[in-house]
Structure 1
């Protein structure tokens, strides 16, 4: 039996799901579907807005609405699905499923509906409906972790708390109680997601890679470097705080450079070049490479002013978040429904579409700025197609029962 069929991933119990409908049996199922659909839909509407075809329902700048919904709508849904599933494995407890899971999805959806129908609601109503979700998620997660004595993993509800604080900053400006806090909110949330990606990638990418190579008879020295792991997180937090307090300055740029160097060193023993023939693995490595690139772009921007701030921001979002997200959404969906851990050709197409969207949004905009509007439109189309493909491909996987794949 090889690594692709034994599905021994440290995320959720692999027992056959019973009780509630399959789609409500584990957190990743409804939230990954919701994220895929919302990632495609919201970007399609943003493209329409950018092209002057549709008008977004927002009292703030359309770009702020777009940023909020991609971070607190799309990315938050993916993060929710992953954490709700992971907590079950970390604590050895039954998954949060059935009615409780449905209620969480409903709370997330209420926030999205509030943003889409903001023209018919007061800013205070939109804020109340949108802000309630993350605290409830934190309660679900932290109760499980504390009950099992899992203090090591309390970093995740802490990061969720920071995400809630960032969302609150957005709504302070929307209701007229703050000036410029919405933009700070988006930048803060980007860094929170970057930290989440760094924390999760450091745990799973070396492990997944080592297991896959071992099954192929490759005993490569795949491992993490403990001291670098600690320094990476410190450097990222320091760079983030500096950029939020003194945006675009040389101090923030210098600290971003340190973070980029440490993130590169972190991958020294990850065996990236050994998994180029395994898309289900290289997409996760690529997500981390985008994290390196994002901090490198931030360093160049802060130290020289030669790299556009918008392109830097999208190296984090379209690049690091987008690539890591689609990699995790596909791997978790396959591995925790009993399927072979192998990306289908259409899934690989989705990987390339997301990667293309990020490259166009970052590199093309930075180096061919005369065509910025066209690049942004092209990037949005590629992204929407990628996540629409995900929904189509993985709908039966996420809504159907778990299957068992034999080693044959």
Structure 2
């Protein structure tokens, strides 16, 4: 009888490659790459070089893909990396991780085929990743008693359902995008608590008095409540005056969180400074929205506030999480390279140019500079991190 051949012991599966060992290795570079792709396409659309092959307002679809493409991919990478560590459960890796990444990619392909595929098919495919992600991480969150992190993911699923309904009924995405914005702001403020503890306490380590940074939950909960109320007001379409006061309350509540940061040495590192700026961008962004809604500032201040929240708040926070989690989980110490430092400066500049440029220099077209700086930031990130995610963890 012929003996069966055996697979050599050293042969490994395709899914055993380092890139599939943790969520950040797959989702972080994919998200950064898609951020560059999306913003370049949007810039070319603004310049009338390209036309988005969709029947609805291209601006709405630009916003949709930044939320459900870029931010959702980054969120998936963070949760699939951090939640197993927090809950002391097995890593989300191998074929399971590759399957989640495939769902994200399928959603992106389906979106760009909206003119070919039916809207029902497109939006069903779009909803697969948030649903699958919730199924995978929910048991781990439950075990770690961190169930509060599931609510932003649930809100994201609701946002996509609302987007589908709006698109089918009236061809717009206003309410769904408002829910998505609220979901991501809540997710960022929730995720920044443990991240900022690590970063600020690292900055405080040079002090001799043993000072420890612990963000107080009541302050964060107050901000989450105000932002939730403001999001609900936008979805329900209540008066501009009420929305304006809720936006102002959100600004005050976010900036109130920074009371915990005012300790000598807390901003010693570049990482701490960047995270500190995230809160300021959120706070000023909500204040600009409030000024526009209440008629205290020009009507354009509302759009400026939106972009300060999108770029300075959400995008800068996402960039910092991609950087900090990527370095730590790949085995590197938290040292900011010149390349990543230049990327952070480019992203902050993109925020200031896009949000304040139209208010201060209304006759100047700042769009090309803004989207170019945004694309540059994530291009520099990719140059730095692609070699990192493709190899085994580094041991310093």
Question: TM-score of the superposition, structure 2-length normalised?
Answer: 0.91
Q: Does 294-303 or 356-365 show the bigger shift? A: 294-303
Q: How does 1:279-298 map to 2 (within 5 A)?
A: 279-298=270-289
Q: Is the 8 A contact 2:350 2:370 kept in 1?
A: yes
Contact 2:36 2:375 in 1 (8 A): yes
Partner deviation per Cα, 1:119-172 (whole Å, 9 max, x = no partner): 3222222122212111111111112223x2x34x22222211111111122222
User: Is the Cα–Cα contact under 8 Å of residues 220 and 271 in structure 1 kept in the other structure?
Assistant: no
What are the within-5 Å matches in structure 2 for residues 252-401 of structure 1? 252-271=243-262, 274-304=265-295, 306-307=297-298, 308=300, 309-371=302-364, 374-401=365-392
1:90 paired to 2:81 = no
- Within 5 Å, which residues of 2 pair with 1:3-18? none
Contact 1:248 1:302 in 2 (8 A): no
1:102–1:250 CA distance, 2 compared to 1 (3 A)? same
Take 1:195 and 1:134, find their aligned partners in 2: how far apart are those partners?
A: 16
Residues 167-246 of structure 1 correspond to what in structure 2 (within 5 A)?
167-174=160-167, 176-178=168-170, 180=172, 182-215=173-206, 217=208, 219-220=210-211, 222-246=213-237
Q: Deviations over 1:265-306 (max 9, x none)?
A: 211121477355522222122112211112211221222252
Consecutive aligned runs of 4 or more in structure 1 exceeding 6 Å deviation: none
Unaligned runs of 5+ in 1: 1-18
Report the secondary structure of 1:227's partner residue: helix
State the SS of the aligned residue for 1:269: helix
In structure 1, how many angstroms separate the alpha carbons of the residues matched to 2:148 and 2:347?
A: 29
Between the two proteins, the alignment pairs up a number of residues equal to 380
Instruction: Provide the rounded CA distance (Å) in 2 between the counterparts of 1:38 and 1:128.
Output: 20
**Which residue is 2:105 aligned to?**
109
Are positions 1:43 and 2:39 aligned together?
yes
1:221, CA displacement in angstroms? 5.6
Q: TM-score, normalising length from structure 1?
A: 0.88
The CA distance in 2 between the partners of 1:184 and 1:347, in whole Å, is 35
* Displacement after TM superposition at 1:253 (Å): 1.3
1:155 equivalent in alignment to 2:148? yes
- Which protein has the larger Cα radius of gyration, Structure 1 or Structure 2? 2
Cα separation, 1, equivalents of 2:65 and 2:163:
11
CA drift of 1:247 comes to 5.6
Match of residue 4 from structure 2? none
Moved more, 118-127 or 285-294: 118-127
- Whether contact under 8 Å (1:287, 1:319) holds in the other structure is yes
Aligned residues of 1:24 and 1:97 also touching (Cα < 8 A): yes
Structure 2 distance, partners of 1:377, 1:256, is: 29
Partner deviation per Cα, 1:349-375 (whole Å, 9 max, x = no partner): 00011111111110112222222xx21
Higher relative contact order by CA 8 Å / sep ≥ 6: 1 or 2?
A: 1
> Secondary structure, in 3 states, of the residue corresponding to 2:393?
coil
Structure 2 CA distance for partners of 1:75 and 1:378, relative to 1, 3 Å: same
Counterpart secondary structure, 1:369? coil
Task: Measure how far apart 1:243 and its partner are.
Answer: 2.8
Aligned CA distance change for structure 1 residues 342 and 275 (closer, same or farther; 3 Å): farther
* Counterpart Cα distance in 1 of 2:66 and 2:263: 29
Equivalent in 129, 138, 145 of residue 142 of structure 1: 138
Structure 2's unaligned 5+ residue stretches are 1-14
Aligned 8 A contact 1:197 1:324 in 2: yes
